[in-house]
Amino acid sequence: MTGEATLTTMVPRQRSTTDQLLAQTVELATEVRGALVADPTADRGAALRRLRQVAKIGELTALLGYCVAWLLVRKAVETGELTPEQGCSDERRLGAMSPLPGIGPDLEAAVGPDLADLDAQVRAFYARLARLDRLLDDACRG
C-alpha cells in the first residue's frame, strides 16, 4: 500500500446534508416507533388517551414519511438519477403537502409529555425541510 492510499483510507468521508437529514429522519422515526407502550388499565379515560396517542403516532409517521420521500427525491437529484426539473415537479415538492392538524393547545395532557415533546421535534424537522423546499422555488424557475 502506498502512502497516498493510506492517507486516503484514513480520511473520513463527509456525509452530504441530505444524508444527514435522512439519518435524522430515521432517528425521529425510531423514537416515534418506541413512543407507544402497552397500558394495562381498562379505564375509559386511559383508553381515550391511548387512542389519542395512537392517532398522534400515525400523524407523526405520516409527516416523517413525507420527509423521507422528499429527501430521497433530493438525493436522486444530487446523484443525477433525476434531473433538477424532475425534482421540481409539484408531486415531488414537500411544500405542496398540506400540514396535518394538531390535537389542540393541550397536547401534553392529551398524549403525555414524551409524545408531546416528540411531536414538537418532528414538526420542527418537517418545518425545516419545508423551508428548504421553498428555497428550491428560485432554482426551479431558473
Q: Which of 85, 75, 70 is nearest to 140 (CA)?
A: 85
Task: Give yes or no for residue 90 having a pLDDT over 70.
Answer: yes
Residue-wise pLDDT for 21-64, tens only, equals 999 999 999 888 887 666 666 788 888 888 888 888 988 999 99
For 9-28, the DSSP string reads HHSPPPPPHHHHHHHHHHHH
For residue 125, give the C-alpha cell. 424537522
Report all structural domains of the chain as residue ranges with CATH numbers, in order of start.
Answer: 16-141 (1.10.8.930)
Q: Which of 10-19, 33-42, 66-75, 133-142 has the highest mean pLDDT?
A: 66-75
CA–chain centroid gap for 91, Å, is 17
